[in-house]
Chains A and B, each alone.
Chain A
Amino acid sequence: MKELAYIIFTSILVNNYVLTKFLGICPFLGVSKKLDQATGMGVAVTFVMVLATLATYPINRFILSAFGLEYLQTIVFILVIAALVQLVEIILKKYIPALHASLGIYLPLITTNCAVLGVVKNNISDGYGFIESVASALGCGLGFLLAMVLFAGVRQRIETSKPPKCFEGVPITLVSAAIVSLSFYGFAGVIDSIFA
């Protein structure tokens, strides 16, 4: 139990996918303008990360590693994730239309989100078991959600500020992302001392 909590908190705060590992930067910078969009995107990514881990772990364990086909991981995983996302979208549309209305538009976008493929591949290279992989996916997703929500707040302040002309738009967004990332940098020691 302690290990699982360690994995989840480390992936939320210390190894935050967006702010320290640079995965999923496109949605982080592109969809963080408004708080509700940022939250929707974050929840959808968390959802797909956990589902993708649930689907790819058995495939890797019982098909790819069992037959020595690890080199096919990249192709197989991206196809599985793409098919899974389509399937989830169809199921949500049919049975839970309310959830589809709020998450549906973000789902197709996530197919090619590098954070999702990244979490699946990292879980395998870290040698995690099934439960640990799911915990790590959940933690990474929540970390992504946290970064999106925090940054949406920062973005709203940027909108009203007046940076130098050449820094307007993208550059000032990146510089403020650097400052948000710096704040997460401070968590590195905290987790280790809590779980020591």
Chain B
Amino acid sequence: MKAFENFAKGIIKENPVLVLLLGTCPTLAVTTSVSNAFGMGAAATAVLLGSNVAISALRKVIPDKVRIPSYIVIIAAFVTIVEMVMHAFVPGLYDALGVFLSLIVVNCIILGRAEMYASKNGVGASALDALGMGIGFTLALLAMSTIREVFGAGSWMGMSIPFVSEYTVPILKEAPGGFFVFGCLIALVNKFGSHKPKKEFTCEGCPSFGLCGGKCSVNDGGSGEESEAV
């Protein structure tokens, strides 16, 4: 039962995108179509699983002082593997995701899970955590891309939807629509969700948190306690 909770927390209770507010860049950038979002989610889940398992297995070997660079190298290695696999087998998706595929390296979710979870827990638990977080990330991307593709282009997964495709709002597929839909989704979770998203973008989600210790942005009040609660 505990193992299941460990797995399921990433999907709803600690959804990385909608509750923890991590990985905003890919969330906004690749959600223009459902197939891109699915590809991104799968790629990030694969990297997350690989890096979480590797980092958890090496957690007693990696010296504390150089842990962040070590994590980055491990993550970059997995990203390179995923990049090569996608280039070979799904070249269309590889081109569509473009630079965001290599930018999984600096995705806050992955370094964040390495720092917050995999470096402290066993291999099995870390793998479950990675799967849950990866699926949570994918589901959030799917939700957002569904809204943007259905109303922005009148299609879903490339399949045209009768009626809706005659009244599309193309701006939803463009950059401003990305910010807008994401804002509205978080507001919805705020209104109806049982787990409130964080009030502000705080530091501990940032992968460099270990390096700067929150000195980079001195938020006034509130954020400090929230970052401890997570």
Complex CA distance for A113 and B106, rounded to whole angstroms: 7
Q: Which of the segments A22-30, A53-61, A92-100, A134-142 contacts the partner chain?
A: A22-30
Q: Are B187's CB and A167's CB within 8 A?
A: yes
For the complex, would chain A's binding face be called helix, strand, loop or mixed by DSSP majority?
A: helix
B217 close to A (CB within 8 Å): yes
Residues on A with C-beta less than 8 A from B208 are: 108-112
With A25-B24, A74-B102: A175-B180 Cβ-Cβ less than 8 Å: yes
With A71-B80, A74-B76, A75-B73: A171-B184 Cβ-Cβ less than 8 Å: yes
Complex CA distance for A170 and B179, rounded to whole angstroms: 11
Give chain A interface residues in 42-79, CB to chain B under 8 Å. 71-75, 78-79
A118 close to B (CB within 8 Å): yes
A179 close to B (CB within 8 Å): yes
Q: Are A174's CB and B212's CB within 8 A?
A: no
With A108-B212, A118-B103, A121-B102: A171-B186 Cβ-Cβ less than 8 Å: yes
A166 close to B (CB within 8 Å): yes
A125 close to B (CB within 8 Å): yes
Residues on B with C-beta less than 8 A from A24 are: 25
Residue of A108, A121, A175 near B179 (CB, 8 A) is: A175
Complex CA distance for A29 and B206, rounded to whole angstroms: 12
Q: Are A23's CB and B76's CB within 8 A?
A: no
Cβ-closest chain B residue relative to A118: B99
A87 close to B (CB within 8 Å): no
| B163-202 interface code vs A (CB 8 A; 1 in, 0 out) | 0000000010011111110111011101100000111111
Complex CA distance for A73 and B107, rounded to whole angstroms: 17
Give chain B interface residues in 195-230, CB to chain A under 8 Å. 197-203, 205-208, 211-212, 215-219
- List the interface of chain A (C-beta within 8 A of B): 19-26, 29-31, 33, 37, 41, 71-75, 78-79, 82, 105-106, 108-114, 117-118, 121-122, 125, 164-175, 177-179, 181-182, 184-185
19 more A-B residue pairs beyond the given contacts A21-B175, A78-B72, A170-B200, with a C-beta to C-beta distance below 8 A: A26-B205, A26-B206, A30-B206, A72-B80, A79-B69, A79-B76, A106-B216, A167-B183, A167-B190, A170-B199, A171-B184, A171-B186, A171-B187, A172-B183, A173-B183, A177-B183, A184-B175, A185-B174, A185-B176
